[in-house]
Structure 1
Amino acid sequence: MQHEAEVREASRRGDYGKVIELVRKDRRMTQTQLGQALGLSQPAISRLEKRGTGTYQTNVLVSAAAHLDITPDLVGLSGDRPKPQARDDDDMHRRALLGGAIAAAAAPALAALPTTADASSGQAAALRLSTTAYRRLDGSTPSQNLEDAVRAHLRLIQATARTADDEHRMRLAAVGSEAASLSGWLAWDMGNHGSARARYGAAVNAARSAGDPLLTAYQVGSLASFEAHAGNGVQALNLTGRARRALRGRSPAVADAWLSSIEALGHAAAGDRRSADKALVRSRKAAEGLLEQEAPPPWPWVFSFTAEKVAAHRVTCGAWLGLPDWVLSDDVGALATGHAKQRALLLLDIAAGHLAAGRVEGAFAVATRALEAGLKYRSGRIVERARALRRSLALSSPPRVVRDFDERLHGVYL
């Protein structure tokens, strides 16, 4: 490390912002890039790096350390040195859970631990950490490899809840809701829509049992997103309405931004361009308001909802509505968010935009990149979307790039 001596000196005096700044520069990363990775704005990263020996928010330090590959002790998260002073609203249980290597491993999701109630429940906290670890693995692991482990994890949560007292059972219901939702996502990725719908439904029911309006809205919104992608626009819109009602008029900005984007998908699935555009405008406005906030998103959101994510939804809406200008104007911003499998799905939307504009070779050059990711991660959802794109093109003599695409698809069964 080029600045190793300076990093250690800054750590010794408790200037953890300087540690982050020096390591960020060694990694050749801008403040904007780091902010996007942590769900913060560039000004927020600048303020973090200039904080000196003042107050730090523990979960932000953990996330930055994990992303920059900084050992936790260099930012005061483990070892014998005093821990960084936390803000008043920084839950005490986070400190207990964020020590050592486990803190770095689970960093982006630890901001999602919801309330101090879990501090008295080691079981619920430990089970939630396992769920967040599986969620992180999803971005780089075939869903088939995670499916059995996540289902066993869900059964463990349910078994633990059956022997718990009433108060503890409600907390475990929230943990089970998250695990059921992840299981639904994995089934969706494998192309098993029936199982995905059933598991998302189970996540909604568990959230209601937990008595948590925000979690209920999140899970109903997740089911709405699934239905929109399945082409059920009216059902998706009905579900987003239920999600908003679950919030009882107390909707945090991230929920408003996210639900507006899902409403846009519902309108697009129903073929309503005007309403989709209005929903996207609302979503972008709410997302831009989030940029000024330094605090992590409220649980159960793990990452902030950014303008790049709104761009991704606009690309998808454009693909469904056959509007290449929507797709190709936002393609770069959209690809700045999400993990490899999510980016592959966006690439297929971008390919659809090229195809709608008559750019056949460009469309299938992009689609080939997406298909390679689908094969690498054995994603049935990606492969089926690639097949659907191919079916949308009817040429008696397709160009070479399309023939190569056909060869890659031949004999693939996922």
Structure 2
Amino acid sequence: MAAALATCDMAAIVEAVRTARGWSQAGLARNLGYSQSWVSRVVNGQQSLTLDQVREIARRLDIPVHRLRFASPGPALAPHALARPVAAHAAGGGKGDPTRRRDFGKVLTVASLPLPVAPASSDVDESTAPTLRAITGGQRRLDASSPARDLISSAVAHLELSGRTLARARRSPFAADIAAAASEAAGFAAWLHADMGDVGSARCHYRTAVERARQAGHGLLGVYMLGSLASFEIDADEPELGLALAGEAARRLGDDAHPTARAWLACVRATGHAATGDGTAATRELGAAARAVAHTANREPPWPWVFPFDEPKVAGYRALVAVRLRRPGDALAAFDEAAGVPASAKQRAVLLVELAGAHADAGDVDEACRLASEALRIGAAFQSDRVIGRVRRFRRSYRGPRARCVSALDEQITTVLAGPLRLGPAAG
């Protein structure tokens, strides 16, 4: 490994890490975030790497970039040789294969970048992680009353700060807690991007949240972030992928986990099955969720869950499932059961759209359009592409008569998409 680091032999480095961690090549690909075929080409020396790819691979494998050095290929170097300046190796006579030397020159540029280094900084202590989590908590509270676009810059900046702090704390006793705080920051950034309709950035940040949870060694946090990614994919019309992710989260969770976690994950799986039209599987998952919330141990929720997962919340998911399965009677009854669940304005808008779908399926077009219109007002006021997109999806799915209220909703949607909507403050 010393020789591979000294010559920046990324193929040997990646393969050695894979072997040391007991990963298959498919497992290595998952941890790197690339396809298995691409990783195979890297390991076999058939794939050249860009500077960004070298840096990304090093980060994902926890290899400090400053350990990668420029040197001619030769006998394995003693560990102390790695500490010699890069320039000393570069001036060492120009021996070795010229193609490899060009590749090493690229890595020389990487090694000179101002990247985080391994030693812990003296400014990291037991208060660092709680401070980072408090910042994320404050941003989450603002999300209830602020457009995502007003928060995204500060959320991304906080995410970057959390990442740099984690790099400084990597060898400190506080690293695990700071990694958990960084996971929360990444999860919130993903949520904001999803609300803005930026699906690609949301996926990227959710993946970061899952990876940071793994670095924290916090099993429940990892399950929460993986389940959140699953829920996101289901909402993004990728239910099969969402179900696969939720299944992996359930495998990691185990059968003896806290009832809150089991109930929530079962509800996520229920929405995925409903999206694929599998009513039997969705009903089975909702039953599992109901049994979990009724368990005597379901009192104080485990972090990162903040609120208990109770019967009204299961009823809310039951309503969403019934809407997706086109069962309006069941949906309306479940919405009544879930009426006492507190929700922020944007969350309420999402529920209004789902309720509008239930009324439309039941033939109550006027009420359906009224609810969709109210949701659209909230979405426009908060500049929430997620809410606006759901209203548009509701309208596309409507196949009933073109009543006057439907035409009015069409005009409202056109106005929102064409420019600023001047409808006054959103209700709720």
TM-score, scaled to structure 1: 0.67
Aligned with 2:319 (options 305, 315, 321) = 315
Give the Cα–Cα distance (whole angstroms) in 1 for the partners of residues 142 and 293 of structure 2. Answer: 26
Deviation at 1:205, TM superposition (A): 0.8
Structure 1 residues not aligned, in runs of 5+: 1-118
After superposition, the C-alpha distances for 1:240-259 in whole angstroms (9 at most, x for unaligned) are 22112222444111101101
Contact 1:335 1:346 in 2 (8 A): no
2:373 aligned counterpart, secondary structure:
helix
Contact 2:263 2:309 in 1 (8 A): yes
Question: Mapping of 1:124-135 within 5 angstroms?
Answer: 124-135=129-140
Aligned with 1:362 (options 342, 367, 373) = 367
Look up the match of 2:98.
Answer: none
> Which residue identity is paired with 2:141?
R
1:251 aligned counterpart, secondary structure:
coil
Output the aligned Cα RMSD.
1.9
2:158 maps to 1:183: no
Deviation at 1:327, TM superposition (A): 1.2
Structure 2 residues not aligned, in runs of 5+: 1-123, 420-428
After superposition, the C-alpha distances for 1:98-121 in whole angstroms (9 at most, x for unaligned) are xxxxxxxxxxxxxxxxxxxxx961
Look up the match of 1:302.
Answer: 306
Where relative contact order (Cα < 8 A, 6+ residues apart) is larger, the structure is 1
1:141 aligned counterpart, secondary structure:
coil
Look up the match of 1:353.
Answer: 358
Greater CA deviation, 230-239 or 172-181?
230-239
Judged with a 3 Å threshold, the aligned counterparts in structure 2 of structure 1 residues 394 and 233 are, in CA distance, closer, same or farther, namely closer
Aligned with 2:337 (options 333, 338, 341) = 333
Give the Cα–Cα distance (whole angstroms) in 2 for the partners of residues 282 and 271 of structure 1. Answer: 19
> Which residue identity is paired with 1:131?
T
After superposition, the C-alpha distances for 1:342-364 in whole angstroms (9 at most, x for unaligned) are 11111111111111122211211
Judged with a 3 Å threshold, the aligned counterparts in structure 2 of structure 1 residues 285 and 150 are, in CA distance, closer, same or farther, namely same
Give the Cα–Cα distance (whole angstroms) in 2 for the partners of residues 163 and 263 of structure 1. Answer: 38
2:407 maps to 1:403: yes
Give the Cα–Cα distance (whole angstroms) in 2 for the partners of residues 289 and 368 of structure 1. Answer: 39
Contact 1:244 1:251 in 2 (8 A): no
Deviation at 1:285, TM superposition (A): 2.1
Contact 1:257 1:283 in 2 (8 A): yes
Give the Cα–Cα distance (whole angstroms) in 1 for the partners of residues 139 and 332 of structure 2. Answer: 33
Give the Cα–Cα distance (whole angstroms) in 2 for the partners of residues 372 and 336 of structure 1. Answer: 22
% identity of equivalent residues: 39
Deviation at 1:192, TM superposition (A): 1.3
1:236 aligned counterpart, secondary structure:
helix
2:372 maps to 1:382: no
Give the Cα–Cα distance (whole angstroms) in 1 for the partners of residues 298 and 318 of structure 2. Answer: 24
Look up the match of 1:219.
Answer: 225
After superposition, the C-alpha distances for 1:320-341 in whole angstroms (9 at most, x for unaligned) are 1111122111112334322211
Deviation at 1:374, TM superposition (A): 0.8
> Which residue identity is paired with 1:254?
T
After superposition, the C-alpha distances for 1:34-81 in whole angstroms (9 at most, x for unaligned) are xxxxxxxxxxxxxxxxxxxxxxxxxxxxxxxxxxxxxxxxxxxxxxxx
Deviation at 1:213, TM superposition (A): 0.8
Give the Cα–Cα distance (whole angstroms) in 2 for the partners of residues 372 and 332 of structure 1. Answer: 23
Give the Cα–Cα distance (whole angstroms) in 2 for the partners of residues 233 and 293 of structure 1. Answer: 28
Contact 1:344 1:371 in 2 (8 A): yes
Alignment length, in residue pairs? 293
Look up the match of 1:160.
Answer: 165
Aligned with 2:153 (options 145, 148, 154) = 148
TM-score, scaled to structure 2: 0.65
Contact 1:258 1:283 in 2 (8 A): yes
Look up the match of 2:205.
Answer: 199
